[in-house]
Amino acid sequence: MADLFEPRIVGFLCNWCTYTAADTAGVNRMKMPPNVDIIRVMCSGRIDPEFVLKAFALGADGVIVSGCHPPGDCHYSNGNFKTFRRMPLLETLLAQYGIEKERFHWGWISGAEANKWTQLVQDFTDQVRALGPLDWQRELADKV
C-alpha cells in the first residue's frame, strides 16, 4: 500500500554545519522522521557527484546534500563554492536520467539551524514518499 512506503533517503552532510545541526537536533530530541541515513563528510565540496549517483543506483529514493551557507560560513573558506558550482549541473544530469527533481535536494543549513534541519527532513521525506519508490536496479532489470 502506497501509504506504507517508507522512503530511504541518503543525506551527505558537511561536518561543520549541517551535520552539527543534525547532531543538535538529535541531542535535543527534536522530532523528525527516521528516513534519512546520514553520511558525514568533512566538507560539502568533498561530495563527488559520483556519491549521489551511486546512492540512487544502489537504491536510495532521495538524496540530500547540505553544507555551510556561502559565502563565508565554510570551515575551509570556499569548499561550498564547489558545491554550488557542481550541484546545478548534477540536477540537470539527473533530469536527463529521468530522476524527478523532487528526489534531490541541495542547500545550506548552519550548525545553529537544527529547526531548519528537522523541517527539511520532514518536508523532504513527505515529498519523496509521495513520489513512491525509485528502485533503480529493478527499473533496469525488468526490461531488456
Cis ω on the peptide bond leading into residue 70 (within 30° of 0)? no
| Torsion of Cα atoms, 116 then 78 then 82 then 9, to 10° | -30
Tell me the closest approach of the beta carbon of residue 138 to another protein, in angstroms.
11
In the bound state with another protein, the residue whose beta carbon lies nearer, of 34 and 96, is 96
Residue 141 CA: distances (Å) to CA of 54, 62, 138: 17, 20, 5
> With binding defined as CB under 8 A, does residue 90 bind another protein?
yes
The residue to which cell 535536494 is assigned: 105
In the bound state with another protein, the residue whose beta carbon lies nearer, of 23 and 91, is 91
d(C-alpha 95, C-alpha 78), whole Å: 27
Stretch that binds another protein, among 24-32, 59-67, 88-96, 115-123 (CB under 8 A): 88-96
Tell me the closest approach of the beta carbon of residue 65 to another protein, in angstroms.
13
Count the Cβ atoms, other than its own, within 10 Å of residue 62.
26
According to DSSP H, which parts of 8-113 are helical?
18-27, 49-57, 79-96
> With binding defined as CB under 8 A, does residue 121 bind another protein?
no
Choose which of 63, 99, 120, 121 interacts with another protein (CB under 8 A).
99
Give 77-91 as a 3 state SS string.
CCHHHHHHHHHHHHH
> With binding defined as CB under 8 A, does residue 102 bind another protein?
no
Binding letters toward another protein, positions 34-73, x by CB under 8 A: --------------xxx--xx-xx------------xx--
The residues binding another protein (CB under 8 A) are 48-50, 53-54, 56-57, 70-71, 81-82, 84-86, 88-90, 92-93, 96-99, 136, 139-140, 143-144
